[in-house]
Amino acid sequence: MKRVLFFTLFLSFGFYTNAQTPTLKIKATPPTKLKWGQSYKLNATVSHTFKEEKTGGLTCTLLNAATHKPVDGWFINIFPFQYFTTIAKTPFETEFSFTVPNDYKGKFEIVLVAQVDQIKDSIHFLVPTIK
Mean pLDDT of all residues in 48-55: 90
The pLDDT score that the predictor gives to residue 12 is 43
| Alpha-helical segments (H) within 13-76 | none
Model confidence pLDDT, tens digit, residues 66-101: 999 999 888 988 788 999 898 888 899 999 999 999
At 3, the pLDDT band (50, 70, 90 cuts) reads: very low
Residue type, 58: L
Residue with the larger pLDDT of the pair 111 and 17: 111
Task: Give the angle 108-62-55 at the CA atoms, nearest 5°.
Answer: 145
- Closest by CA to 97, choosing from 49, 39, 46, 52, is 39
The pLDDT score that the predictor gives to residue 72 is 83
Burial 67-83 (b: 16+ CB within 10 A, else e): eeeebeeebebeebebe
At 19, the pLDDT band (50, 70, 90 cuts) reads: low
Q: What is the pTM of this model?
A: 0.80
The pLDDT score that the predictor gives to residue 103 is 87
Mean pLDDT of all residues in 12-19: 46
- What domains are there in the chain, each with its CATH number? 20-130 (2.60.40.10)
